[in-house]
Structure 1
Amino acid sequence: MNSKHLSSTANSVIHQCSMKLHTSVDALLEEYKGVWKPEMGEYSRKLVEFCCSKAVRQGPACGEDDYISDSSFSRFTFDMMLAWQMPSSADEESYRESLGKEKEEKKSLVATQPHEDVSLFYSDIMPLLVDHGQGVKEDAFVWFATMLPLPGDVINGRFIFETLTASTANILHYPAYDRFLTEIAK
């Protein structure tokens, strides 16, 4: 079951959570409706938090000591952060609009920059030319650290995030996150 009110990432993560918990999405939604109250805040984000926390508490299957270095674990947890960051379809639409505007701005900036005597690797436009895909922002990383202290705890989460994203304008991209988890597993 896909909810039209959730972003595509949030729908995917909730589906993955239900599979990990060996239950249906409908059963998860019913359980959530039983505990959610309007004063809790945004329905979509709280639903993502509810499902993700249940899935993370489930933990790895018995005998999976190296689950941290498993790429499916890193992708799943990265997607959790993306879903938390953009839980609703309205958030997703807003993101797509801003992405389109940003691409137009990049095109006009690149077209107006003189190319002579400027090394591409040392110019100010280099970050604009690299397309890293969707990334996680600091608040999503710190939220995730509250559920699974492995990649960072609340106190150190912001420092870890800043270190991981120093070269990417404070956006955590999947390859850096995957590498970080791989290094932790060693």
Structure 2
Amino acid sequence: MAAATDASSHFAIPPLSPTAASVVHRCARITGVPVEQLLRRFEPEKGNQPLGYARSLVEYCSYIALRVETRRHDHLGDCEFHSLTYDMMLAWEAPDEETDAKLQTTPINILHGGNDEEEDGGSMFCLSPTQMAIQVDGRRTVGPDAFAKIIPACPAMAHAITVRNLFDALTNSTGGRLHFLIYHKYLKSLDKVLGSAKAYIKWTQSSSP
């Protein structure tokens, strides 16, 4: 137990939440820069409160790591990349311990559509496979601000101008909250479409006189 406590304290980065601290450590591994050095390089605005400091630090580390990750041609099809970017959004939304604690106790209705009476009397068998999976998967969901802040850092995934419209489309049936399952399916589909487009372009170039 003592060893686990020591490891946890070594992993912690006050005032960051556990998720945010995990993201910073993963960003450090990706960039090959020690966590302590990342923290020294980061220059927060003067007078930043814990929430502002933690959120800015998450942004800083995420953007540096994403510049490295997006150089890999296969990043869109990589499930680890899906999980990393999703956790970055979770970390941005609840970067400090106080905000994280509040979100932990805030119930979120992730299914959307219909009135309360219909939802209370509805059957699980009326839900789509995606909605049923969302019901049983306890992973926290992501809001629009976090999505708009992190995702445009990956040019192939979204554009800063249209990112809000994309979020609305992805969360149309989940009450304006993005679930990992839907996000994962979106990236897999995007990777497939872009792969087909690249293959077609390559084919047309090779077949042209």
TM-score of Structure 1 vs Structure 2, range by shorter chain: 0.7 to 0.9
TM-superposed CA distance for 1:29, in Å, is 0.6
Tell me: CA distance 1:119–1:54, structure 2 relative to 1, closer, same or farther (3 Å).
closer
1:152 corresponding residue in structure 2: 158
TM-superposed CA distance for 1:5, in Å, is 1.1
Aligned residues between the structures = 167
Q: Which has the higher contact order (CA 8 A, sep 6+)?
A: 1
RMSD between aligned alpha carbons? 2.7
* Pairing partner for 1:38 from 22, 46, 54: 46
2:86 partner SS:
helix
Query: 1:127-173 deviations in whole A, cap 9, x for unaligned?
Result: 9x935430111111111133222221121111111111111101111
2: CA distance, partners of 1:21 / 1:119? 47
Stretches of structure 2 that go unaligned for 5 or more consecutive residues are 1-10, 110-115, 193-209
TM-superposed CA distance for 1:122, in Å, is 5.7
2: CA distance, partners of 1:120 / 1:3? 41
TM-score normalised according to structure 2 size:
0.70
Tell me: CA distance 1:70–1:40, structure 2 relative to 1, closer, same or farther (3 Å).
same
Tell me: CA distance 1:97–1:150, structure 2 relative to 1, closer, same or farther (3 Å).
same
Q: Contact 2:23–2:87 at 8 Å: present in 1 too?
A: yes
2:13 corresponding residue in structure 1: 3
Asked if 1:139 corresponds to 2:145, the answer is yes
2:135 corresponding residue in structure 1: 130
Which structure: larger Rg? 2
1:87 corresponding residue in structure 2: 95
1:105 corresponding residue in structure 2: none
1:96 corresponding residue in structure 2: 104
Q: What is the letter of the counterpart of residue 73 of structure 2?
A: D
Stretches of structure 1 that go unaligned for 5 or more consecutive residues are 103-108
Tell me: CA distance 1:163–1:50, structure 2 relative to 1, closer, same or farther (3 Å).
same
Asked if 1:172 corresponds to 2:182, the answer is no
Q: What is the letter of the counterpart of residue 15 of structure 1?
A: H
Q: Contact 1:142–1:153 at 8 Å: present in 2 too?
A: no
Runs of 4+ in 1 over 3 A off after TM superposition: 118-123
Asked if 1:68 corresponds to 2:73, the answer is no
TM-superposed CA distance for 1:56, in Å, is 1.0
1: CA distance, partners of 2:47 / 2:156? 30
Q: What is the letter of the counterpart of residue 146 of structure 1?
A: P
1: CA distance, partners of 2:26 / 2:123? 45
TM-superposed CA distance for 1:22, in Å, is 0.7
Asked if 1:58 corresponds to 2:68, the answer is yes
* Pairing partner for 1:28 from 27, 31, 38: 38
TM-score normalised according to structure 1 size:
0.79
